[in-house]
Chains A and B, each alone.
Chain A
């Protein structure tokens, strides 16, 4: 079997990875494997997911630019770093934090495909101005509470209410 990257040398390294129930197999020669960063099993191997991402954006989300060469309406551009959405599709990397803001609508779809969700549910970043943090957390809890009430999950709702109360008490104490 020939190496899938160079198509010249014999593939001696065979890597299998399963992503969203889809088997991704890499057959590489030693030289190309090292180029991709596969040296030994001790290393954190790079996710071929990045390749998946740019493929997905290119084929499924972006519309092709029209023949007159006009910039597609959908080709948004980040006001801070200048990255366009089609460039993002090609390289699979954002240029700055603001990109997430500019591409938010498109990303909802993309992130759902990669992660099965487009909503962060983990820890809230602390901010250097420390007093902002409880406010953010409270907002998140209130959003969750709303959802819990909507779905009639009263047990969770009660829990959330307690946590919000705790939080506002704490911030009052710290404020005084």
Chain B
């Protein structure tokens, strides 16, 4: 399953969209439940099956099944599930639930809907660059239609009711994936993170061995879901993101003033390693690709396109590699295969 998907990059990774040199993707997620059923964590098998049936028939009458596919979680192998997680189409939690879940993915991979994750319905829309409004329009339209087919659990005071109280109200989580090498290199990042957290947003970096953030990638999302309207939440995330982009560009300018030779060397050195290495760990690839992306941003480097960098970030992940080569591999094998895939991609481009 998903073989054809594995061969093409996701549409949210086209490297297009506003601010796509710095913002990789935007995402909107709604958490919804059907009023008459117990929430998934406490629902029995029968109830879970009924929920899937309800939702599936709603999708069908909305015409969604004509341009997308609905899967039952028991027909998705563990490798395929990891593959979908790497592609941002399902959450890691969805994998843990085992059977009794459903998943809808539309043909463009912009819209994905998990059934019986923590809530009956988790509807997400994802797109390339800083494009919150595009995500919102796509997700909102489907959400509105679903509401007419299924009675949502909704309360006049608390809004949309969710399994976890941290999602209640709008049930909305808006997030962006952003690349901040300048702020990391100038060590301004901690300042920025603490400023952001004061306006109701959460920033997460992913740390590997040591203290460096892998790939200089951060996820920023709204922390609270109750008490502010959907528009306010999205607006505030977009505005703060604009501001962070400005901080990042300032940091990059500072770097170029103080250490342009070193920066240029770092970029070309990274390109050299990616182009010739025989063994590449996944964290290493992320850091090297980060340097190339910075190079493009600074207009110091044009051997590789943004699109290609984003694509490599995704396809060099463990499950993608195994899907691509059609077999399971040990971590050592993957490091070699990863290096050869990156080499192919970079040499082909020249």
Contacts and interface: CB of A to CB of B under 8 A. Distances in A.
Interface of A: 12-21, 37-47, 49-50, 53, 80-81, 83, 91-97, 100-101, 104, 107, 110-111, 114-128, 130, 136, 139-140
Contacts of B198: 21
A158 B208 CA distance: 55
A99 to B, nearest CB: 8
Contacts of A91: 41
A18 B228 contact: no
Contact of B226 (A13, A37, A81, A119): A119
Given A39-B92, A96-B42, A97-B35, A122 B202 contact: no
A93 B41 contact: yes
Which DSSP category, helix, strand, loop or mixed, fits chain B's interface?
A: mixed
A79 to B, nearest CB: 13
Given A44-B29, A120-B157, A37 B227 contact: no
Contact of B88 (A21, A43, A92, A126): A43
Interface residues of B, number: 77
A89 to B, nearest CB: 11
24 contacts: A12-B208, A12-B209, A15-B206, A38-B206, A41-B177, A41-B205, A43-B92, A46-B92, A81-B38, A92-B164, A94-B162, A94-B164, A95-B39, A97-B33, A115-B225, A115-B226, A117-B227, A118-B227, A120-B158, A120-B170, A122-B169, A122-B229, A126-B144, A128-B150
Contacts of B349: none
B163 A47 contact: no
Nearest to A130: B148
Interface of B: 27, 29, 33, 35, 37-39, 41-42, 82, 85-86, 88, 91-93, 96, 118, 144, 147-166, 168-170, 172-173, 175, 177, 193-194, 197-198, 200, 202-209, 211, 214-215, 217-219, 223-230, 282, 313-314, 317
B195 to A, nearest CB: 10
Given A41-B177, A46-B93, A114-B166, A128 B151 contact: yes
B313 to A, nearest CB: 8
B197 A21 contact: yes
A98 B135 CA distance: 31
A113 to B, nearest CB: 10
